[in-house]
Amino acid sequence: MRRRTPAIAILLAAASLEAQAALTADPQAAHALSRSDLMEWTMALGLVIFLILVSAWLLRRFNRLSISHGNRLRILGGIPVGTRERVVLLQVGERQLLLGVAPGRVETLHVLEPGELARAECGNSADPAPVTFAGRLTQAMRGV
């Protein structure tokens, strides 16, 4: 297998060769140029790194950056319940899990069996089950 060279490595190598050529051609002029060039490169690199970090944050914030686990694991929805806490509905195969997610902790609030959600939506259970996510969350938090 052939490994690809990252674009940043190529750019750094080209910049290094350019700086070396400038130093060997005229050391006095190259020294004056290298300071300004170094400042420009540093600013450009800082800008690129900043743009990468902002893009990654935006993608993560709007939930567009996801890791593919095939079709076996999917996030169906989630709502924030505090400043750093969320409740997430996750589907694993045929089961659905209601998870409480906090910094450093993930806790299973309720496990929905494959037919349980269909019965709840049809109203076939003895207890009239709410069909909204908020209603199911309230019911799961009560421990029903």
**Domain locations in the chain?**
7-61, 73-142
Cα distance between residue 21 and residue 13, in whole Å:
12
pLDDT in tens, 52-89: 999 988 887 776 555 555 567 888 888 999 899 999 98
Q: In the predicted model, what is the mean pLDDT of residues 79-102?
A: 88
Q: In the predicted model, what is the mean pLDDT of residues 90-106?
A: 88
Q: What is the pTM of this model?
A: 0.37
Cα distance between residue 46 and residue 9, in whole Å:
16
What per-residue confidence (pLDDT) applies to 1?
A: 46
pLDDT in tens, 14-39: 777 776 766 666 555 545 567 778 88
Q: In what order do the strands lie in the sheet with 105-112?
A: 73-80, 86-92, 95-102, 105-112
Q: Which helix (H) or strand (E) holds 110?
A: strand 105-112
What per-residue confidence (pLDDT) applies to 130?
A: 47
What per-residue confidence (pLDDT) applies to 30?
A: 47
Q: Which helix (H) or strand (E) holds 31?
A: helix 27-61
